[in-house]
Structure 1
Amino acid sequence: MSTDAKLPPAIFLMGPTACGKTDLAVHLTRHLPCEIVSVDSALVYRGMDIGTAKPDAATLKRAPHHLIDLIEPTQNYSAEQFRQDALRLMAEITGRGRIPLLVGGTMLYFKALKEGLDALPEADPELRAEIEARAAELGWPALHAELARLDPKTAARLKPTDAQRIQRALEVCYLSGEPMSALFARQQAEPPPYRLIEIALIPSDRAALHARINQRFAAMIEAGLIDELRGLRERFDLNPGLPSMRCVGYRQAWQFLEGEIDAAGLYATGAAATRQLAKRQLTWLRGWQGAVEFDCLRPDLAEAVLGYLEMRLAE
């Protein structure tokens, strides 16, 4: 028996937004001794339910999820924090004789868990304030252009308007004297002490996934996304630069409340941003090593994935 085979199993269930991960995960918990650990950077926020497609109370009662509703929308949650929390929970779940089922679409979190993260320089408030002041004067696209000179690999995967990540990448360059991409490239793989069974849900028809995304975003608006954000703005000291308010859907809802877009623009830009998110997630998944792919559109998806997992768990 190999060393890997002696390790306790853990399941990664990865896929783009609107591919059906939650429904599939709940189905799996009915047939396997699994506990769900959310791998989603938006579900950590309390009160952000509609725009994150957070499982409803009935679903959570049937299949409790770890790592949701952790923090307020004014707070931050990092990939390293996720890794620490997830490893602790996985140990507890395994200790109960059950199987950790990690489900989500935040691929950086999956990467952090599987490989670890390089020790990047800690945030420097003074430097961040300086970067923000320059952005206010020149605009984030100009700072993105500067990042492209200092760290072309990181700049290539960021939008010129992605303020949070541009700021962090520039901060790392200034503090370390090296590009963030170079620091990541040097990191040593630190696999968790589990036999990972990795599944990627990939749509055979991108247009069909886009139709799901469009329908779901329309349903979020109908369910009260605007009222949800209005209530959050009344309860908390929020601003559009917070990570929580940069989540897809909330960013566009904020623009609507500020009168920058109308109802038609809210739907159009929100659905388009969600489609772009799915595209980025699929780009991550295409380069992911070790995952078995399943078509998320196949009618027998639940049965097929369950059968595969039962086979792998019996090994």
Structure 2
Amino acid sequence: MSEGHPIKAVLIAGPTASGKSALALELALRTRGVVINADSMQVYRDLRIITARPTEGEEARVPHRLYGHVDAAVNFSAGAWVTDAAKSLEEAHAEGRLPILIGGTGLYFKALTAGLSVVPPIPAEVRESVRARLERNGVEALHAELARRDPRAAERLNLRDRTRIARALEVIEATGRSLLDWHQEGQPPLLPKDSYRAVFLDPERDELYARIDARFDTMLRAGALEEVGQLATRGLDPLLPAMKPHGVPALIRHLRGELSLEEASVIGRADTRHYAKRQFTWFRHQLPEFEWVKPEEARGWLAAALRAAPDPR
């Protein structure tokens, strides 16, 4: 692989526990690259273990960007990530490094390659009012309110999806426009077509689910429960993104005495497996530009793709 990097970036996606981090690290070592996080949970500094962030040793081997740079109290959004990613891409190119964007958050990759709607900031009083109604009246009442005010958005949302229902109601209340309307307007992609190579790791399902289960147990042995406990002591809003990584809500319930550790572990492993299934579906339907490759074939695929890539400049 040449120092000049004939493409602007490499995108490595895949379900959780599919081997993305090891592949990105190896590629960065071979290309003088920089690894840029595209996982919505790994941005939070409070949760290194339970979100499977790269270790300090791995981060020391090659430059890593956008890992653990956000406090758990921040409601970090895809728009905020795009702003940070744009800066990281610019810095990488200025240093002559190959940006390697890695993660499992489909919305981040879609924003990167297709653009993102720009919703105005929601005033704090609106957000607090919506969340107070959610806690007081429950998610079904909030969905009914959304159905009256924004029936198109309500129709698309799962009746139990507290976070997205609250978000859609905040937007209609603060702006007078549907979130769907805002999604039709937005900023252009950071990476135009043909300026990148994108791969989605496609492991065998049974093997992946076994790895997910084993990794969750490894996380617990490495201190994930203590990490979650420290987060719980902060008393943060349970609707914040940092309070919802897979395993975190169940482990918090264990710490409150509501579940045994084994029960919490079963829930955490199951939630992670379900999330992996959704990742497969989302990327297949929303990001057709990603080429699906078995993990054991990914190194050869990347090497061939980078050799054959035309220079987009």
| TM-score, L = length of structure 2 | 0.87
Map of 1:310 onto structure 2: 307
8 Å CA contact retained: 1:74, 1:237: no
**Structural mapping, 1:29-178, within 5 Å:** 29-147=28-146, 154-155=153-154, 158-178=157-177
Map of 2:294 onto structure 1: 295
**Higher mean displacement: 277-286 or 172-181:** 172-181
Q: Helix, strand or coil for the counterpart of 1:283?
A: helix
The one of 258, 261, 283 equivalent to 1:260 is 258
Map of 1:272 onto structure 2: 270
Return the letter of the residue paired with 2:196: L
Q: Distance between the aligned counterparts of 1:225 and 1:152, measured in 2?
A: 41
Once the two structures are superposed, residues 75-95 of structure 1 have per-residue CA deviations (whole angstroms, 9 ceiling, x without a partner) of: 232211111111111111111
Q: Distance between the aligned counterparts of 1:64 and 1:55, measured in 2?
A: 11
8 Å CA contact retained: 1:83, 1:113: yes
Return the letter of the residue paired with 1:77: F
Q: Distance between the aligned counterparts of 1:93 and 1:262, measured in 2?
A: 46
Map of 2:196 onto structure 1: 196
Q: Distance between the aligned counterparts of 1:57 and 1:183, measured in 2?
A: 39
**Higher mean displacement: 156-165 or 77-86:** 156-165
Map of 1:246 onto structure 2: 244
8 Å CA contact retained: 1:42, 1:247: yes
Q: Helix, strand or coil for the counterpart of 1:13?
A: strand
8 Å CA contact retained: 1:255, 1:261: yes
8 Å CA contact retained: 2:11, 2:197: yes
Map of 1:179 onto structure 2: 178
Q: Distance between the aligned counterparts of 1:220 and 1:268, measured in 2?
A: 13
CA shift in 2, pair 1:19/1:218, >3 Å: same
Q: Distance between the aligned counterparts of 2:212 and 2:154, measured in 1?
A: 27
Map of 2:281 onto structure 1: 283
Once the two structures are superposed, residues 117-158 of structure 1 have per-residue CA deviations (whole angstroms, 9 ceiling, x without a partner) of: 222232132332332232223211332354456556655665
Q: Distance between the aligned counterparts of 1:64 and 1:202, measured in 2?
A: 26
Unaligned runs of 5+ in 2: none
Return the letter of the residue paired with 2:298: L
Map of 1:3 onto structure 2: none
Aligned-residue CA RMSD (Å): 2.5
Q: Helix, strand or coil for the counterpart of 2:309?
A: helix
Map of 2:223 onto structure 1: 224
Q: Distance between the aligned counterparts of 2:9 and 2:115, measured in 1?
A: 16
Return the letter of the residue paired with 1:256: H
Q: Helix, strand or coil for the counterpart of 1:24?
A: helix
8 Å CA contact retained: 1:9, 1:313: no
Q: Helix, strand or coil for the counterpart of 1:130?
A: helix
Q: Distance between the aligned counterparts of 2:155 and 2:61, measured in 1?
A: 42
Return the letter of the residue paired with 2:260: D
CA shift in 2, pair 1:124/1:37, >3 Å: same
CA shift in 2, pair 1:219/1:149, >3 Å: farther
CA shift in 2, pair 1:313/1:262, >3 Å: farther
Deviation of 1:250 after TM superposition, in Å, equals 1.4
Q: Distance between the aligned counterparts of 1:237 and 1:190, measured in 2?
A: 38
Deviation of 1:100 after TM superposition, in Å, equals 0.8
CA shift in 2, pair 1:76/1:39, >3 Å: same
Percent of pairs with identical residues = 35
Q: Distance between the aligned counterparts of 2:152 and 2:38, measured in 1?
A: 25
How many residue pairs align between the two structures?
Answer: 305
Deviation of 1:237 after TM superposition, in Å, equals 4.3
